[in-house]
A = this chain, B = another copy of it.
């Protein structure tokens, strides 16, 4: 067992002045085994529902309504740790916007963020306005420790910079890469479900089932759909790497 504020790694790499940059300590759980139980001594944990994927993989989830007092950094650390242990330093991300229009102009506002690794799926619902504690998210997105992998992210990257000054330094438009790697131009333009279908040919019935009954779906089902989508793109990335 070890604890690692990896989220700050790129920024406060070496602590010359601990007084100015106090080291935060988190007790992290080992995440290498889907069957493992939660560690008792850790306050930050993916204690939301877990889901089994079609290949038997088990995804732990956590959905957080970020308040001014919420410390999201231990969760971000757990994601980074999962990257390290699984030998695949990629975070699958998706962003959700709220838009308010006034005829000739509009205001875009980041409302939620989803972050997935091989075993974890974190869903952050952001406050309006942002609190200081979201600096952790800014730094996380700027990290080059991982590659941030997404589907159709070109406009998102622009909106993040324009509307919030968020910069993702290391990002990958997975559809574009897939189109090049596979020689099938169409996949550059597909959404998550279709892209994954073209590359992986997995059974999508569970995802389709939830998405087609979205209104009746309970929160747990919706979280499962989110987890499935993250896991699908993780597997697309994994396959394109080989």
Contact = CB atoms under 8 A, between A and B. Distances in A.
Interface of A: 2-6, 9-17, 23-26, 28, 63, 65, 81, 84-85, 88-89, 94, 96-108, 111-112, 114, 123, 125, 129-130, 134-135, 138-139, 142, 144-147, 151-152, 154-156, 159, 163-172, 177, 180-181, 185-186, 189-194, 208, 211-216, 219, 222-223, 226, 240-241
Contact of A144 (B108, B145, B152, B216): B152
B159 A191 contact: no
A147 B189 contact: yes
Contact of A186 (B15, B89, B100, B181): B181
A111 B12 contact: yes
Contact of A194 (B4, B85, B129, B147): B147
B181 A134 contact: no
Nearest to A157: B155
A126 to B, nearest CB: 10
Cβ-closest 4 pairs across A and B: A106-B165, A4-B214, A172-B189, A3-B215
B135 A99 contact: yes
Max chain B C-beta neighbours (<10 A), residue from A102, A107, A165, A215: A215
Contacts of A2: 212-213, 215-216
A104 to B, nearest CB: 6
28 contacts: A2-B212, A2-B213, A3-B216, A4-B213, A4-B214, A5-B215, A9-B214, A10-B97, A11-B112, A14-B63, A14-B223, A17-B125, A26-B215, A81-B212, A84-B212, A103-B164, A104-B165, A108-B165, A144-B151, A144-B191, A147-B190, A154-B169, A155-B168, A171-B189, A177-B186, A177-B189, A181-B186, A186-B240
